[in-house]
Amino acid sequence: MIKAEQDKAIIEYRWLSSATTHVGAVREVNEDNQIEKPEIGLWVVADGMGGHSAGDVASGMVVDELSAVRRDGNNEAFIERVVEVLSITNQKLRQLAFQKFDKQAVMGTTVAVLILDQNHYTILWAGDSRVYRYRNRQLEQLTRDHSQVNDMLDSGLLTQDEVDDHPLANVITRAIGASQTLNLERIDGELKHGDIFMLCSDGLNKELTDSEISPFFSSGDVDEINKALIHSALVRGAQDNITAISVRVEGSVGNDQTIPAWNTHKSEESSLNVY
């Protein structure tokens, strides 16, 4: 439980999270990896770059390295440590690609990181794995895709209708392991009671539009949200691996507990954690 002073009242924040991954309907290997560590307020989705060398190794290395990070000191120190670990992993992947393949080989992965602390959230990312927030019945994509088509869209060279079918639709401009210097983007904000965050690989949003994703959040049940999203993507054909992590923020004032009784459970492809 996290306590924060907000509007001159003590707000006790807790979060419930659920992580689900699926290889999809076409791929033989799941190159997605994820972290769900509500006890330290850390969630990560990493999507190994398809068509490159050992994408599953790249995403797995990111998850392994970040899983070892401890929350020591204040929140900003923790964030700085996460950034440092990602930068070190970037160099490790470049060295490994050179050793296993050649100078031109890339072992790369996207990364999307959500960090919660007291009444604050931080998002770090590189690539096109996304973080959404559902607040006041509105779904908002908080991250911006680091992709070729998104850059072209921003510059007016493409319209929104042309993006999905463009031949460069799968080309990303930032990734862990892709370049000598890692360029992460960061945003920060304040939590509100009832917020639901979702981290996902692009295997989800390739199959479902934001307007199709949004209604699934109305139940507030993070486990059911993930199951419904994965199922819907599979029904659409799921050309890529699919990973979704949903995190619901709950707050109470004083002794007024607003957290429902949830059963903590884990299965092969889905887990629900309460903290």
Question: From first to last of its 275 residues, what are the pLDDT tens digits of the chain?
Answer: 455 554 446 578 899 999 999 999 999 999 999 999 999 999 999 999 965 668 999 999 999 999 999 998 899 999 999 999 999 999 999 999 988 887 777 899 999 999 999 999 999 999 999 999 999 999 999 999 998 888 888 888 887 777 777 877 778 999 999 999 999 999 999 999 999 999 999 999 999 999 999 999 999 999 999 999 999 999 999 999 999 999 999 987 755 554 443 333 333 343 334 44
The 8-class DSSP code of residue 221 comes to: -
Rounded Cα–Cα distance for residues 170 and 18 (Å): 27
Q: Taking a C-beta distance cutoff of 8 angstroms, is the pair 214, 141 a contact?
A: no
Question: Side chain identity at 8, as an amino acid letter?
Answer: K
Give one DSSP letter per residue of 153-210, joined into a string.
HHTTSS-HHHHTT-TTTT-BS--BTSSSS---EEEEEE--TT-EEEEE-HHHHTTS-H
CATH number of 2-274, picked from 3.60.40.10, 3.30.450.20, 3.30.470.20, 3.40.50.1980: 3.60.40.10
- At residue 264, the pLDDT reads 32
Domain boundaries, the chain: 2-274
- At 61 the three-state DSSP class reads helix
Q: Which residues of 153-188 are buried (b: 16+ CB within 10 A; e: fewer)?
A: beeeebeeeebeeeeebbebbbbbbbeeebebeeee
- At residue 84, the pLDDT reads 98
Question: Side chain identity at 134, as an amino acid letter?
Answer: Y
- At residue 260, the pLDDT reads 42
Question: Side chain identity at 144, as an amino acid letter?
Answer: R
- At residue 79, the pLDDT reads 98
Residue 41, sorted as left (phi over 0), alpha (psi -120 to 50) or beta, turns out to be left
